[in-house]
Structure 1
Amino acid sequence: MEGRRWPVRDSCRALVGQHRARNDRDCWRNQFAPAVFARLVMLLRRLDDYQSWQIQFAGTSLLIDPWLDDEPISGAFDRRHGRGFTTHTDLLRENATISAVLLCTSVNDHLRPNTLRLLGDLPVHGNLKAAKAARDAGCSDTRVCTPGKSVDVECREGGVLRVTATKCGLPLGLIATGWMIEAIDHNDDDRGRVWIEPHQPTVETAEWVRTRGPVDVAVLPTQSVVAVVVPVTAGPKRTAAAASACGARAVVPTATDPRRDMRWWQKALYFVAGGDDHTRRLLHGRSELISLRASDWLDVRSGR
């Protein structure tokens, strides 16, 4: 069962033509709704049903691990898009100002070469290996970020999105990174903070993130994945501990249903455990679990 979604503010609800509500769970799925909200709030959007995200504030967006076309993932495991994912054409139709791409790793379920080519000359931020892979894919502006390093992305309507690379737990920390994104308005006021760690959130990193200010939304895995004997993503226990350590008001699951499109031999290699319900129980009400569907938007500070 999905967690309750924070309600869209009444003043904006009338402006959103396709507002969706189920019981007391309010969310909205309108491609053009952010045009109304852009100057007011920090928004998180789930681009697909796997692990692609968009952050928007003050008319400017960042894409995290974007996968904007129909090309399936294949190799060590298979994955296809589910229904309702956001495409590059959708972004063009919205006239979105995309200012940067953030990559969590160079692995092909995060770095999609065809999508990067569609995005043209946008700056691509990632660790050394991800930046190199992006250059190999044809990106002309790649920037290496190490944990703790921050970059300010200027917003079209004032303020900045401050992006900071965060340390991923081992063993994926050898090739992967997480991201903390802060929205800061033209008066230097905090307008929202999101931490995205799709692999191995740790209490150590979560405590460091908390020193930067309160976390509104932590985007974390709720299903543990072990490839033969190698831990790939953390499960409910580590995610709940990290959410508590960073003081997240809400947890949004990422890297969901990882075995869905795997072949039989791939399923034999990947052991998956946990899930949203287990994670929700371990959160003990300290953080709310909010499940988003493909193309859902979330006002990250609603209810704060």
Structure 2
Amino acid sequence: MYLTWLDSNSWLIEIGGQRILLDPWLVDSLTFSGQNWFFKGSRSQQRPIPENINLILLSQGLEDHAHPPTLKQLDHNIPVVASPNATKVVQQLNYTQITTLAHGQSFTLNQSVEIKATPGSLVGLNLVENGYLLKELESGLTLYYEPHGNHSSTLKEIPPVDIVITPLIELGLPLVGAFIKGNKYALEVAQWLQPQVMISTAAGGDVIFEGLLNSFLQTKGSIEEFRSLLEKNNLSTQVIDPKPGDRFEVKLEKRVLNV
């Protein structure tokens, strides 16, 4: 398996001979409802749009996961798998092949990769978006992705997972608390899933953040602190802190999985 972190929540996942573009933000700035004064993310350099994409996978409908300017530039004939809220975004952009996954539902990509939706991030008061479990059908290799660190207790019921992509550092606001949950939440999912590898996501990378909200954001923890936390809890999980734009191979030991 090869992975490329494209900053923020955006990933290119190469698994089972398929190229999956996950939560892509690749062009222009990132704002919410066009309110630049409140929050704006800008790239120090534009990311080239990857070629030969087999699937676009969207975990949420918010702009930092279903980024309209990026989705406008991508080929609208590329199949999309999305949460119900993200489906609304790609429907408005006239994508031609959309599969909506509710929690517990699965989709199989070209008989090679199974994608299963899990309960993910809470948005607002009652909207729970998607996390995803990806399984390479030939080898049984598995990957779990949840971009805000909201890990459903239903994950306890599944077998060990090989790779987990999730925040390892917390990001929050005074009085409100963490809305990107790392640290102890990442440790908890590591204890549940026993991954061989954990990879940090949702960090800034090469992104520059501005606006009123950014002046109040607080970070907690570090990659090194999380590695120490794993060691203290007798977990041998390898932690990868990716560099934006770098394609890297995730090498795993073979183990018997009853998946």
Interval containing the TM-score (normalised by the shorter chain): 0.7 to 0.9
Is 1:52–2:10 an aligned residue pair? Answer: yes
CA distance in 2, matches of 1:57, 1:202: 23
Query: How far does residue 260 in structure 1 lie from its aligned partner after superposition?
Result: 6.0
Matched residue, 1:217:
163
Matched residue, 2:257:
none
Is 1:126–2:74 an aligned residue pair? Answer: no
CA gap of 1:270–1:137, structure 2 versus 1, over 3 A, is: farther
Is 1:164–2:116 an aligned residue pair? Answer: yes
Is 1:101–2:63 an aligned residue pair? Answer: no
Is 1:142–2:103 an aligned residue pair? Answer: no
Once the two structures are superposed, the pairs formed by residues 196-207 of structure 1 within 5 Å of their partners are 196-202=145-151, 204-207=153-156
How big is the alpha-carbon RMSD for the aligned residues of Structure 1 and Structure 2?
2.5
Matched residue, 1:275:
222
CA distance in 1, matches of 2:207, 2:20: 27
CA distance in 1, matches of 2:25, 2:185: 27
Higher helix content, 1 or 2: 1
CA distance in 2, matches of 1:259, 1:294: 7
Asked whether the 8 Å contact 2:119–2:128 carries over to 1, the reply is: no
Matched residue, 1:177:
130
Is 1:68–2:30 an aligned residue pair? Answer: no
Aligned length: 243
CA distance in 2, matches of 1:257, 1:296: 15
CA gap of 1:205–1:272, structure 2 versus 1, over 3 A, is: farther
Matched residue, 2:2:
43
CA distance in 1, matches of 2:217, 2:93: 28
Matched residue, 1:291:
241
Matched residue, 1:87:
48
Query: How far does residue 53 in structure 1 lie from its aligned partner after superposition?
Result: 0.8
Asked whether the 8 Å contact 2:44–2:208 carries over to 1, the reply is: no
Name the amino acid aligned to 2:70: T
Quote the sequence identity (%). Answer: 22
In structure 2, the gaps of 5 or more residues are: 255-259
Deviations 1:125-154 (A, max 9, x none): 222111012212332322211111111001
Query: How far does residue 180 in structure 1 lie from its aligned partner after superposition?
Result: 0.9
CA distance in 2, matches of 1:126, 1:49: 20
Is 1:78–2:40 an aligned residue pair? Answer: yes
CA gap of 1:132–1:169, structure 2 versus 1, over 3 A, is: closer
CA gap of 1:100–1:243, structure 2 versus 1, over 3 A, is: same
Asked whether the 8 Å contact 1:220–1:253 carries over to 2, the reply is: yes
